[in-house]
Chain A
């Protein structure tokens, strides 16, 4: 019964909350109240917005020696998680068969080999742990962190851990546990710091446009 609930109604509920929550958040940001700038622009803000969306993936050269931990751990975690999420064989199979029926319309992509999965998972785990330790130990990030930051980190860690445990395919309870954790993650996502995975784009674009219309590369 619990298995049916987790695989059925709770899955659809969490997915709906996630999708509507993210769309609502993005729509409220994109179509929300903001004043028009009445000063005469040096250049259009659009190229600046587009440029900044991509340029902030790379840290300023002068800053690098001071923020190595955040850069290295940040990239390890995000790239590792991205690889595992979209290129792990069980995830591809799940997406193709259950989520959008992509296999029926001929959309599929290759899974990464098992060794690559192990490397990506280790990167993601190590990156997340380093970021979390940095959050706890560095005086700056300790001061500015909120409960939400810690909950988001713990939830992500639990999802990743149960995901690895679910690889033991002989135990269907472990797969269910992972799926349940993912569902909690999806429900929490739109109302938490995790939403930065989407809102970083309009944030960078706003700032890039602001600087861009003044003729400044940001």
Chain B
């Protein structure tokens, strides 16, 4: 009798497990179908599987594992396209010859997509038939997130972002504490919730906790240039975990918070911090997430600094003499279009600025973008991928690295530490602040 009950409960367990699994697969399939737009169809129709994209991906070049080939990471979506949108796919399905997308596929691709892709888009720049591979990978992420195949670290960060307001769990009190320190150090006051200010500055959690010198630099530069600005106690966080994990609903919710803050304070501009994906999320993807255009403009801090410099409001003196280079954050430069400004700003305060072999829109990623740095499981792979940046730095032999993204900075600091390379990394906004002409 007992054996019969146990056997029956085993059957129920197995049945329930299969039911849950098929439900997860169905959610993934529905998400992929919903995102099958004409661009994706055009891209898959054009792909000749030449494999050139592999050579543009640091996760492939540093591991030589063909599974990290960018177009291979889009395989779940290609399978759905093949089976449901092509003649041979439909024909093969009727004959039972087509290999359908399975639950195991989703499970296997989770690691490839979340750990082995920083969404840097370098692959999209080299495809001979013009496929924006990162565009498709972003859609695969959406399906993986919908079917609950996402890494724990990123899920937890997203949960914190929704519940607390920051992926790192940074609350307003933590920001206020940092502001107090900055105010004590500089003698300047940091404006908070000032209605009618021209600019609303956003920050990333990493800047608040790891690099508060960015806040100090903002205060000094804006005081110097006479910029009317404020922070918002209800919308200070710029990072968007929804974008990183591939959940458009969460991404929209986080963008709405910034929009509400901007409307409440009636600002004309929202300033994206140096953080790369935050810029992408608020400047380019934000209106698409919430389904409407903003009533304010979004500007990256480096764009604003260059505008202030060109209009004569930002005056610098003296130049750094040491040999330094600039690491291009992918989301700011390659996918954000802020390429010339950091170079012009840097040249205005540095006399020995050298470029890496591949720079600007063809830079190599630090390895930690797209949520990879928030994914503890990916640490080993990320450090391996950092060897590409290491090679670039070895060629140059610089004294200092300048960048414009808190995430890149932290990831590179870890990479340098791991490789026992003693090169300081600084943020470009801070470098500019160091050279302000004293009033």
Contact = CB atoms under 8 A, between A and B. Distances in A.
Contacts of A25: 45
Interface string B24-35: 000000000000
B1 interface: no
B375 interface: no
Interface in A181-218: 191-193, 195-196, 199-200, 202-208, 210, 214-218
B67 interface: yes
Given A33-B38, A143-B72, A216 B131 contact: no
Contacts of B337: 42, 214-216
B38 A34 contact: yes
B46 A199 contact: yes
B224 to A, nearest CB: 27
A32 interface: yes
A44 interface: no
A74 interface: yes
Interface in A33-64: 33-35, 37-40, 42, 52-53, 56, 59-60, 62-63
Interface stretch (B120-128, B185-193, B345-353, B410-418): B120-128
Interface in B52-90: 52, 54-56, 60, 66-67, 69, 71-72, 86-88
A39 B287 contact: yes
A200 B43 CA distance: 8
Nearest to B88: A191
B37 A33 contact: yes
B132 interface: yes
B285 A67 contact: no
A140 B38 contact: no
B128 A214 contact: no
A192 B47 CA distance: 11
A216 B66 contact: no
B52 A70 contact: yes
B66 A63 contact: no
A184 B285 CA distance: 45
A139 interface: yes
A59 B287 contact: no
Interface in B266-288: 283-288
Contact of B130 (A29, A203, A216): A203
A146 interface: yes
B42 A199 contact: yes
Contacts of B135: 207, 210
B344 interface: no
A25 B288 CA distance: 27
A148 interface: yes
A66 interface: yes
A101 interface: no
A144 interface: yes
B44 to A, nearest CB: 9
Given A199-B45, A204-B130, A139 B66 contact: yes
B37 A38 contact: no
B126 A59 contact: yes
Contacts of A140: 51, 54, 60, 66, 69
B128 A59 contact: yes
B129 A56 contact: yes
A172 interface: no
B361 interface: yes
Given A143-B66, A146-B49, A210-B135, A39 B55 contact: no
Interface string B121-151: 0001111111110010000000000000000
B130 A52 contact: yes
A149 interface: yes
Contact of B46 (A39, A60, A196): A196
A192 B43 CA distance: 13
B129 A29 contact: no
B380 to A, nearest CB: 22
A215 B284 CA distance: 12
B46 A203 contact: yes
A66 B284 CA distance: 32
Contact of B55 (A56, A63, A145): A63
Interface stretch (B228-236, B291-299, B394-402): B291-299
9 contacts: A31-B38, A35-B37, A62-B358, A67-B55, A70-B51, A195-B45, A206-B130, A207-B127, A216-B339
Interface of B: 37-39, 41-43, 45-52, 54-56, 60, 66-67, 69, 71-72, 86-88, 124-132, 135, 283-288, 291-294, 297-298, 334-337, 339, 357-358, 361-362
Q: Which 8 A-B pairs have the closest CB atoms?
A: A32-B38, A204-B130, A215-B337, A38-B287, A140-B51, A141-B51, A66-B55, A214-B337
